[in-house]
Structure 1
Amino acid sequence: MFKQITSAQNKEIKWLLQLQEKSRNRRKERAFVVEGQREISLAIKGGYTPLHLYFVPELIDLQEVVKISKSNTQNPAAITEISHEVYDKIAYRGSTEGLIAVFQSRENKLEELEFETKHPLILVAEAPEKPGNIGAMLRTADAAAVDAVIIANPKTDLYNPNIIRSSVGCLFTNNIATGSTSEIIEFLKNKKIPVYAAALQASKSYHEVNFRQASAIVMGTEATGLSEEWLKNSTQNIIIPMHGEIDSINVSVACGILIFEAKRQRSLQP
């Protein structure tokens, strides 16, 4: 018989809500919340360890919950049955199949990044602020199967529920790390990876750049662009020519254009 929680005022549920809502709690506990079977399965496939599972028996088969719990072979995740009332309190979406999980987080250290190819394609995003943009970039990175995504000077922790939700679980499918701009530049220099900074100054059209070699495509924010440190260390600044009335596009859209141009060039490589 599993533990049952039927009140949204339960201490454990309040703990779970704090874990969802406060990055401070996620850092302290070294844990984060994922809802939905697809996102949970992607987290497990990505090597994340489930610690707790909360399920609504009317919405998901118990055997499926037990199977997910046992994916943590050394220490199966604790299973708790919750009521619809509790589920409605803690779930962001009503269509997440009655399952919510707590996972152990990672430190996402830059020095732990490993590449399986001699010519990695890397996406670097400096100080992205909007979880929706971060999620969209992670989805694009997954679709293109880039070798790594690096977040410079992050404004929010990666395990923010809004990032997990907007990335549709692609936070877990990407090879991802965080660090300061200085640390990342040093890392790329040590790996001899050219830097292509999306910037207006001294730029070439992205079509004119050779992305067949190892490449780090670096994106700034829509509001302020890239910091001077990136511009000083750029191998070549690149630009997407604008043909309409406005002079910029959404950063996640720009990211998709540049990454898939690199993939197009690589597909033509003998």
Structure 2
Amino acid sequence: MKEITSTQNPYIKQLAQLKDKSRERKKNGQFLIEGAREISLALKGNYKLETVLYYPELISQEQLNELTNQQTNIIETSKDVYQKLAYRDTTEGVLAVAKSKDHNINHLEFSTKPPLILIAEAPEKPGNIGAILRTADAANVDAVIIANPKTDLYNPNIIRSSVGCVFTNQIATGNTTEIIDFLKENNIDIYCAALQASVDYHTQDYTKPTAIVVGTEATGLRHEWLKNSTQNIIIPMQGEIDSMNVSVAAGILIFEAKRQRNFE
């Protein structure tokens, strides 16, 4: 088993770039996963692990063996090396280098008939994206689509805030036009959360093939979505403000659809 003790090691410097820079993740088709639960979910989601790095003071050999398989390259690290690569203050002593997946929308496959899809347009904050993915996981939606993404899916903050379900949700990305074309080609109704020309969300039928589309709290959805919407929907507000966090809104809308489907 290989051991790396220097933070100046070229491979460790390369991994630090993967952690910190989206450009490096995209160029290399690799990213870092931190934590045993996250690595376990990545394996469940059929991600390929290229290397596992661990700090023996924080994880036992038995725990490591349970997590990895014989095909994975394993490297023991010093405390300094591990801390250089770790993103979280509280950690479990294990990191993995994984291969990115292709999230082209045309690769989506729906096991449920009719499918239920959650679409988020241009979410910027990794924490919001992670929360949206957790909502999608809790509701077991068929797919999550990120329109016009502002950050890559393998940002460490997204992995952390999604608690690893970024790996188990079926996720696609694309621009607004190609996503709308995809939905129309597959006869999927489009329900846009918007203030304009809207009806109360609970008045609509989501038992048919359905996509629920949410935008950012600051800017909402672009006109192209509203023009192609089957129906704009709104969550009635009873307080002083007229909007709520995008992940909260997504949860309300998605679970109404699940309720109508008897949580199937």
TM-score range, shorter chain: over 0.9
1:215 has 2:214 as partner = no
Counterpart AA for 1:101 = A
Partner SS state of residue 56, structure 2: coil
- C-alpha displacement of 1:104: 0.3
1:85 has 2:80 as partner = yes
**Any gaps of 5 or more consecutive residues in structure 2?**
none
* Equivalent pair of 1:123/1:148 in contact (CA under 8 Å): yes
Q: In the alignment, which residue of structure 2 is the partner of 1:11?
A: 10
- C-alpha displacement of 1:95: 3.0
Aligned mates of 1:29, 1:142 — CA distance in 2: 28
Q: In the alignment, which residue of structure 1 is the partner of 2:149?
A: 154
Q: In the alignment, which residue of structure 2 is the partner of 1:60?
A: 59
Aligned mates of 1:51, 1:61 — CA distance in 2: 20
1:43 has 2:42 as partner = yes
1:237 has 2:232 as partner = yes
Aligned mates of 2:228, 2:211 — CA distance in 1: 12
**Any gaps of 5 or more consecutive residues in structure 1?**
none
1:169 has 2:164 as partner = yes
Correspondence 1:1-270 to 2 at 5 A: 2-70=1-69, 76-267=71-262
- C-alpha displacement of 1:78: 1.3
CA RMSD in angstroms comes to 1.3
Q: For 1:32-54, what per-residue CA distance to the aligned partner results, in whole angstroms no more than 9, with x for missing partners?
A: 10000000000000000000110
- C-alpha displacement of 1:96: 2.6
Aligned mates of 1:50, 1:268 — CA distance in 2: 34
Counterpart AA for 2:151 = T
Partner SS state of residue 15, structure 1: helix
TM-score, normalization by structure 1? 0.95
Aligned mates of 1:67, 1:11 — CA distance in 2: 29
Aligned mates of 1:15, 1:24 — CA distance in 2: 12
- C-alpha displacement of 1:5: 1.1
Aligned mates of 1:31, 1:68 — CA distance in 2: 19
Partner SS state of residue 124, structure 1: strand
Aligned mates of 1:192, 1:129 — CA distance in 2: 29
TM-score, normalization by structure 2? 0.97
Q: For 1:57-102, what per-residue CA distance to the aligned partner results, in whole angstroms no more than 9, with x for missing partners?
A: 122122443454427xxxx221110011211221122433100001
Aligned mates of 2:38, 2:243 — CA distance in 1: 32
Aligned mates of 2:102, 2:244 — CA distance in 1: 32
Aligned mates of 1:82, 1:53 — CA distance in 2: 10
Counterpart AA for 2:2 = K
* Segment drifting more, 85-94 vs 101-110: 85-94
- C-alpha displacement of 1:223: 1.1
Partner SS state of residue 138, structure 1: helix
